[in-house]
Structure 1
Amino acid sequence: MPLLLAIPPTEVFLGILAILFLLLCSALVSGSEVAFFSLTPNDFEKLQQDNSGSSQRILYLKDKPRKLLATILISNNFINIGIVILSEFVLSNLISPDIFDYWAESISVGIPWLSLSKEGLAITFNFLITVVSVTFLLVLFGEVAPKVYARINNLRLARIMSTPLDILMRILNPFSAILVNWTKVLEGRLLLTAAGAGLASREDIDEAIELTVSNGEDSGQEVDLLKSIVKFGEVSVKQIMRSRIDVIAVDHRISYPELLEVVKESGYSRIPVYNEDFDNVIGLLYVKDLLGYLHHDESFAWQKLIRTNMLFVPEAKKIDDLLREFQKEHLHMAIVVDEYGGSAGIVTLEDIMEEIIGEIQDEFDDDPEVIYHQIDDNNFVFDGKTLLNDVCRIVGIDTSTFDEVKGEADSVAGLLLELTGDMPTEGEEIVQKEFIFRVLKVSERRIESIQFTLPETTASTV
């Protein structure tokens, strides 16, 4: 039986060396993908403190994640193509073609009903051996092993590959730019499709809730509760927070008797403490911490009880994320900051819970959280600063009713300013869809009270 080596050993040896070199390159490039994209914030903090060239290159590459990933993928494809071509060349010359003819003839004799010709069988054997061997090499040594190593030694491999990838990114820039641009186009189309699908899904869920819940005595409350849970992840902190003008807070310089008076009048268990103004909140005072010092004189330094373990959150943060953060940090209150870094208000764990189950009243709450006056079945009077979500819940309409026109507004006064574009006058009526807003009282700076009128058909179903 004719066997191996139809070419001189030197050519086989050089071909094998080239394959091994390309396998090493494939391993490094594949591993660098895991290495760069598994770096943690702590790793980046260390790199920022380190002024070495490799650290700066890693930070530069990580700032361009799309281009970096495109460069890695393109490089890996070129390398793998080279491995396949060289492997086919080496194997086809390392193993004599006569051996494939011998195997094909043996198969034809042993399986006479096989429809393939001897030449077809020989080509099939050659192809299968090439594919199996190359696939095994690429998967094991070019993908699996290097990625396992990179997961454990990500920072070390990232430093090693920072220079080669920087060079490759510059060389392959035309190709990676095309790939990145096409990716952005596809991503935009997919996001639009997903958004449309999400909207339909949301409507389907609401309809399913209404159809599924029984028509019992408390079915309306059950429907509202389930819908609130569905919408929970879409609500931002700004929509439920208490604005700074309604926050009870104290300056850290006030005396102990003055502090006790504020605590007595407010009835709150946690009070923010600030330095000079509310934009500079320095901590929280837990009223329970004062219990052991109630009989101290006015010189008592109550400031030592201030707790500085606080949470600052942006207005745009979703309340489901905030709830998880409250659970993780074991906190019940956070200071809400606006885009300029100033304090916009506070948000509490109770505010989040009320977004699902409605208003929570305890034995110490003499007044309702939302102050309003109901004139009749379809007329209500609200303070201008009342949140739109609260208005909708009280009058019995969907909280998303004004989403298309409210812009950045979260209060009913903000909605009217968004609709008119100017400060309305007393007695002015603004009509939105079938709803009527009548301005009852306006000061120089804000809309103080508003009458909200439901359409007759809506009012009859509330």
Structure 2
Amino acid sequence: MLTLAALLLANAFFVMAEYALVRARSTRLEEMERQGVRGAARARRMLRDPERYIATTQLGITMAGVGMGWVGEPAFAFLLDRVLGVPLRGLGETAARSLSALTAFVLVTFLAVVLSELVPKSLTLDNPERIAVRVARPLELLSRIGRPLVWLLERSAGLVARLLGASGSARRGASYSVQELKLLVEAAQRSGTLEDSERVMLHAVFDFGDLRVREVMVPRTEMVAVPASSTVDELIAIAIEHPYSKFPVYEGTSDQVIGIAHIKDLMRARHGPSQVAAVRGLMREALFVHESLRVQDLLARFRASRQHLAVVLDEFGGTAGLVTLEDLLEEIVGEVSDAFDRTPPLVKRLPDGSALVDGLMLIEEVNQVLGLHLEDSHYDTLAGYMLGRLGRVARLGDEVEGHGMRLRVEAMDGRRIARLSVRPGAPAESPQAPP
């Protein structure tokens, strides 16, 4: 029985060591090493070559399991035969011994599974790093002792695997795909490890590399640009009216941006020794990028050029819009407002159940906020959806109905739809002209 107990403990040790190698995190062990925890450095080294040590644990588990069957079953069968032999004597000697052997097999299996498999696994999964630092030294010693046998078994297994068609090119420490990382983040949020805001931010980081400049830029119709012939006083008036520190400078039309005017340069021109009369004389060279450029590549250009604003060009070389470093940041952390921002909310709910919505709000966002189901494959914004439904240039007061709601143009900015009202309406879809 002492031999059986020793084999149970040995099996439990190898099970704990195997799960510790699989589940322990190198970052956590590194932190424990900095805290001076003994064995943490050795455990980290073992994680760099886990296959070697896992092979040792599997060999140990197999040998301990065989030993438990070899030693435990005959011992239990002998004891049970002594105990059950008399009551079962009426069944015959062969039947009594067979029943004793079967009972011994069940008992040994139960003890092996519970005491040397399930309990060690539960203890290890509760804190794999703590177990890893404790088993590291003896496991390393056993690995050295059993290295020849482990090497022979690994080579034999590799040969058989190749004969069965395995390529043998499995990557050590295989990396996760973006989708797998997102699933891990979702699981961490459900378990309470991450806040919902952290989950949203991490998802934004994962999606950041797929974004194009056209998806984050400010369109040309929303740009605040100044003519190159403007005076310094005129630029000061524009700067006071808008909460920006840089303004695109154009020649002729905003489709021909030729530079960027900085407020700092404006102040120097106004109060410095050299007097500059026109904006053309103080503007700086602009950074031009194509609208199809990936935002992560744009971020690299911002770093290299030490600029925080770029003019976006379309496929014809005209101005499509502009993009700033703040626009890129907002794709990760969400909307960033400073003390000078006076932008009205994109959605303003009214007491009568309707809502005022900014025309540039994305259809997807409108659906999420207001619980609608608008779809349009040709337009991204609510204003674009309205124009598509009307089939013409919008006018103040234009209305369309459909999808259980009614859209009405409430404000125009030139020919652009600035704001719309959304209210419950009829399900039929029919554009209506204003009275």
Q: TM (normalized to structure 1)?
A: 0.45
Between the two structures, name the one with larger relative contact order (CA 8 Å, sep ≥ 6). 1
